[in-house]
Amino acid sequence: MYVDSHCHLSFPELADRIDDIRAQMAQASVDRALCICTTLEEFPAVHALATRYDNFWASAGVHPDSEDVQEPSVADLLALGAMPRVVAIGETGLDYYRLAGRSVADMAWQRQRFRVHIRAARTSGLPLVVHTRSASADTLAILKEEGGDAAGGVFHCFTETLATARAALDLGFDISFSGILTFRNATELREVAKFVPLERCLIETDSPYLAPVPHRGRPNNPSYVPWVARCLAEIKRCEVEVVAAATSANFERLFRRVFAEPGSEPPRS
């Protein structure tokens, strides 16, 4: 059984196909998924998936690329994080990839937003889902400054260097690999995956984007996450069942409100 630790089922590409996607997931032995929130405006739709289906859970957060949206306060995030079946704060972090003519200095609002999420995670005891792109030094520095290691969490859809992976692991964060791992040109990332201990690895689709080979270029969905697991098993030179079991156990440990028993209401920590 596989877990997709990061997907966007509330996005328009997928939201109208949930029944179909759930059937495909069952067929592919993908038994659980974490539905990720990217704006406060989107949260009700993400949360509805988690309350409607007992094998979906939700996060609460505002993506660094989300602009012209409601800015979250620590109190906003704490309120959402306290709701049933919300198991993480995020996705949050820094993204300097699309500066659109701005300088890194201009992105102070992103850094402030990230700090707000870390404070909410620390206070709530919920782990962070961290998005970092072209901004790994600042991401790590802010996590350290804000005591993000007390919350822990995951660097999702990891595409950074081995040095960044090592620093994230040292801070107590796990590393999640997406379909990018299967891309032909992702040689360096596969080296990173070789380095990250299996007991610190998660797998995800980040659907609807980044469909793994052999589905590359098509809309992604959680039923494709076994392709990421197969690739990781090749890298680790082990059976795919070993990767499935380890990444599922890691998911349960990290998002500790998730219980193996579907439908059970997780305890408040």
- Residue 113 within binding range of Zn ion, rule CB under 5 A: no
- Residue 117 within binding range of Zn ion, rule CB under 5 A: no
Nearest to Zn ion of 88, 232 (CB atom):
88
Per-residue contact track with Zn ion, 185 to 224, x per CB under 5 A? ---------------------x------------------
CA 36 to chain centre: 7
Contact between 114 and 159 (Cβ < 8 Å): no
Alpha carbon distance 60, 39 (integer Å): 8
Q: Which residue blocks in the chain are alpha helix, DSSP H?
A: 12-15, 18-27, 43-52, 74-81, 108-124, 136-145, 162-170, 187-195, 225-236, 240-254
User: Least distance to Zn ion from the beta carbon of 228, Å?
Assistant: 14
Range in contact with Zn ion (rule: CB under 5 A) among 41-49, 115-123, 127-135, 252-260? 127-135
Nearest to Zn ion of 131, 200 (CB atom):
131
User: Least distance to Zn ion from the beta carbon of 45, Å?
Assistant: 15
How many residues make contact with Zn ion (CB under 5 A)? Answer: 3
Alpha carbon distance 154, 242 (integer Å): 20
Nearest to Zn ion of 9, 25 (CB atom):
9
Nearest to Zn ion of 136, 236 (CB atom):
136
User: Least distance to Zn ion from the beta carbon of 123, Å?
Assistant: 23
Alpha carbon distance 120, 126 (integer Å): 8
DSSP letter assigned to residue 122 = H
Per-residue contact track with Zn ion, 23 to 42, x per CB under 5 A? -------------x------
Q: 207 in helix, strand or coil?
A: strand
Nearest to Zn ion of 207, 247 (CB atom):
207
Contact between 92 and 263 (Cβ < 8 Å): no
**Contacts of Zn ion in 46-75 (CB under 5 A):** none
Q: 250 in helix, strand or coil?
A: helix
**Contacts of Zn ion in 134-173 (CB under 5 A):** none
The dihedral through the CA atoms of 211, 225, 255, 26 has a sign that is positive
Residues in the chain: 269
Nearest to Zn ion of 130, 213 (CB atom):
130
- Residue 131 within binding range of Zn ion, rule CB under 5 A: yes
Nearest to Zn ion of 126, 233 (CB atom):
126
